[in-house]
Amino acid sequence: MAKIAVVSLGGAGTSIMREMLKIDSDYDAYNVNERKTLKNANYFGYEEIEVLAQELSNYECVVLTAGLGSSGGEALADLYGMLEDVKKLCFLVTPFYFEIERLMRSRAQLGKIISDGFEGAVLSLNTLLREMDESEPDKGKLEKLIREFDREMAGLIVEMMKEVG
């Protein structure tokens, strides 16, 4: 069976991949971020996207994950465009409604990725706010919810990868 490549980009993508690597590591892991923080992933800097695209074109299936709205999402959209003849599965996180600037950028990035052939899932961080106590915004609680979100996203990706495998 051909191995699948999983590419995580930016802060959110890196956090999701960190959780994924705890569940399963039967894939080639690639990480794009400002600096190398994942031990078990092949690291690429943002300026090396073209080289990465070249390497990824050898796979039958490439899984991409990032939080949209900033550099990670931008690089994911670029990479998506470069991988023409490869099956792509995308797991995208959209920003909180109050991250206005990121929200606008995420719209533009989504526009480049979502088309008829889109496969994967788009999850919004806004869903976490329902679990917050409105009276007392708590940074610690939100961080905990985000960690749970990333763990669930990681589980979803691993499950969906089994379907293509």
Ligand X SMILES: Nc1nc2c(ncn2[C@@H]2O[C@H](COP(=O)(O)OP(=O)(O)OP(=O)(O)O)[C@@H](O)[C@H]2O)c(=O)[nH]1
Binding site for Mg ion (CB under 5 A): 11
Q: Is 19 in the site for ligand X (CB under 6 A)?
A: no
Closer Cβ to ligand X, 73 or 83, answer by number:
73
Contact 95, 106 (CB under 8 A): yes
> Tokens 């960690």 sit at which residue?
147
Q: Which does 71 bind (CB under 5 to 8 A by kind): ligand X, Mg ion, none?
A: ligand X
Q: Does 91 bind ligand X (CB under 6 A)?
A: no
Rounded Cα distance, 18 and 13, in Å = 9
76 counts as binding ligand X under rule CB under 6 A: no
With residue 33 as reference, give the H or E element that holds it.
Answer: none
Nearest distance from C-beta of residue 1 to ligand X, angstroms = 30
Neighbouring C-beta atoms of residue 83, cutoff 10 Å:
18
Residue 57 exposed, middle or buried by CB count within 10 Å (0-12, 13-18, 19+): middle
Residue among 34 and 60 whose Cβ is closer to ligand X: 34
* Residue 135, helix vs strand vs coil: coil
Helix, strand, coil share (%) of the chain residues, nearest 5: 50, 20, 30
From residue 105 to residue 144, the character string flagging contacts with ligand X as x (rule: CB under 6 A) and all else as - is --------------------x-------------------
Residue 7 binding ligand X, by CB under 6 A = no
The correct pick among 19, 95, 105, 113 for binding ligand X (CB under 6 A) is 95
Instruction: For Mg ion, give the closer residue by CB, 56 or 69.
Output: 69
Nearest-5° angle of CA 95, CA 59, CA 89? Answer: 30
Shortest distance, CB of residue 138 to ligand X, whole angstroms? Answer: 16
Residues that bind ligand X (CB under 6 A): 10-12, 15, 67, 69-72, 93, 95-96, 99, 102, 125, 146, 149-150
